[in-house]
A and B are shown apart, each in its own frame.
Chain A
Amino acid sequence: MDLFAFIKPKNELEGSEEKTVNQPYVPDEMWVKCPACGTMLLSTDVEENDHVCFKCNHHFRLNARQRIELLADKGTFEEMDSDLESRNIINFPEYDKKLKNSKISSGEKESVIYGVCNIGNIRTVLVCMNPDFMMGSMGTVTGEKVTRAFEYATENRLPIVVCTASGGARMQEGILSLMQMAKTSGAVKKHSDAGLLYITVLTDPTTGGVTASFAMEGDIILAEPKSLIAFAGPRVIEQTIRQKLPRDFQTAEFVQDKGFVDKVVSRHYLKDTIKNILTIHNYGEVE
């Protein structure tokens, strides 16, 4: 985890730019503190436990590379459009700087990564959003990559798994970020009309424009325990209605209870669950 990344010396952070993109960021800190129960955990232990706290089952946030490592069969992930990068299309103040900093701190070029891989030996398109990159916000390149992922899956008659993590639309790209909601939804619809399977995995946090587009359009919607899943975030609602919200409001379990998530699945069983769903939908294993 890079919970302590901010106290690292500046030159070391800058060095992370040169890392090959395919390598997950491996922390050298020995201990991490569980934000939910406060227990100090040996970071190697946490890593071996799928980044889940032994004591309270808190699911630490994963970046996109860690998520791919969790779900894709070893060595099968082939990334696509890895070179696409956002530009400051409407000349929004300070956006260039923000993009640069996000690239440096995350080691990624955008808030989403996609490609094709095997999951339990079944060929699948896999899309993972990156909460490390501007909180997974959806800009035009994010929307473009998600759209291309669906188009690729439709053309090749493949199922698709999308792991969401996003603060919503990226306001620094103005209306064009909003348009990505419609664009991605159109691509989902074409994939769906072709009779193909789309599994969504909602992870912490999934909010705003992503919730109101492809996150909620899956045939089967899974969610990680205790993830925040919302259209409007809790702070916005508290400001609007001027009252405190119940504690479990907008957690994955709450959203399942209200009927908008098929199943909350612990990270330990996520890959097996996805493999099982793919099998039930008659997607066969590759030779």
Chain B
Amino acid sequence: MSAYDKVCAARDANKLTSIDYINNLFGDSFLELHGDRNFADDKAIIGGIGMLNEIPVTVIGLEKGRNTKERMERNFGMAHPEGYRKALRLMKQAEKFHRPILCFVDTSGAFCGIGAEERGQGHAIATNLMEMMALKTPVLSVFIGEGGSGGALALAVADEVWMMEDSVYSVISPEGCASILWKDSSKAPEAAEKLKMTAQDLFDLGVVERVLRQPKAEDKKMFESLKILICRTFEKNLAVDGAELANLRYERFRKFGN
């Protein structure tokens, strides 16, 4: 599979979305919580609380939608500033109650539009990066599809970052890169290769801790083992002092490009 094949696989419309993961992992215990308490509820980000086996967890996911109607409603998983602010509100709440935070990332990027700029897209993402770095509770981010630039990173300042084997994570889309650098967006496959954006490339660069096999929709067993893996990580990190955990998180990012 070429890098660009992986990009296409990550964008596949039939792929499981955050809602599928949440339903399979949390079942009926999941309670969705809406709104950023400032402006609106951004449906591109779904968030709430639930039980992961015995552990109360705050879960937040970028949601692309599973059919055309949903995709329109969820703005194809491209969040506005209020989405990132909702996410941060829920994370702060998790910190207060010392609940671990589980993030699912699946977005082509933060939304680019007039309203997003007017309401401070840059400010919203920046605030998340800064505040997530200091959260005194465990944070785990799992990439389940596309990881587009700052809009993905705003949910991925975590103790560990995991990626499904068919997911990608990049500073820019291969099309964007090709059209800026070579004035030709049809050279996207070459850009995908050079950007080193596949899960395996990122693992080799030390940017992610784990590459996981993608669960299938009906495969309860795979979700069960994913759940165990997540719980074990949370248990391990819940045992670490909050301030120390935040320090370790900073050290994790501090080493990139040192």
A joins B in a complex: yes
Closest CB in chain A relative to B225 CB, distance in Å: 27
> Given A186-B253, A232-B121: A171 and B150 within 8 A (CB)?
no
Flag if A174 contacts B121 (CB, 8 Å): no
Question: Which residues from chain B contact A241 at a C-beta distance below 8 Å?
Answer: 112-114
Question: Which residues from chain A contact B202 at a C-beta distance below 8 Å?
Answer: 175
Question: Which residues from chain A contact B133 at a C-beta distance below 8 Å?
Answer: 182, 185-186, 189
Flag if B126 contacts A174 (CB, 8 Å): no
Chain A facing B: main interface SS:
helix
Interchain CA distance A240-B175 in the complex, whole Å: 14
Instruction: Please classify how large the interface on chain A is, using the bins under 10, 10 to 19, 20 to 34, 35 or more.
Output: 35 or more
Which of A48-56, A125-133, A141-149 lines the interface with chain B?
A141-149
Flag if A175 contacts B112 (CB, 8 Å): no
Residue in A173, A179, A214, A230 with the greatest tally of chain B CB atoms within 10 Å: A179
Flag if B153 contacts A181 (CB, 8 Å): yes
B91 at interface, CB cutoff 8 A: no
Flag if B120 contacts A260 (CB, 8 Å): yes
Flag if A231 contacts B125 (CB, 8 Å): yes
> Given A140-B257, A175-B202, A189-B133: A240 and B113 within 8 A (CB)?
yes
Question: Which residues from chain B contact A143 at a C-beta distance below 8 Å?
Answer: 256-257
Flag if A231 contacts B256 (CB, 8 Å): no
A30 at interface, CB cutoff 8 A: no
Residue in A189, A231, A237 with the greatest tally of chain B CB atoms within 10 Å: A231
B4 at interface, CB cutoff 8 A: no
Chain A residues engaging chain B, CB cutoff 8 angstroms: 89-94, 139-141, 143-144, 147, 169, 171, 173-183, 185-186, 188-190, 192-193, 208-209, 211-217, 230-232, 236-237, 240-241, 245, 249-250, 258-260
Identify 5 residue pairs between A and B in the complex whose beta-carbon atoms are under 8 Å apart, listed by A's number. Answer: A173-B257, A175-B169, A175-B171, A212-B126, A241-B112
Q: Please provide the 5 A-B residue pairs with the shortest distance between their CB atoms, ordered closest to farther.
A: A140-B257, A211-B122, A232-B112, A185-B129, A231-B122
Chain B residues engaging chain A, CB cutoff 8 angstroms: 110, 112-114, 116-123, 125-127, 129-131, 133-134, 149-150, 153-154, 157, 169-172, 177, 180-181, 194-197, 202, 205, 207, 249-250, 253-254, 256-258
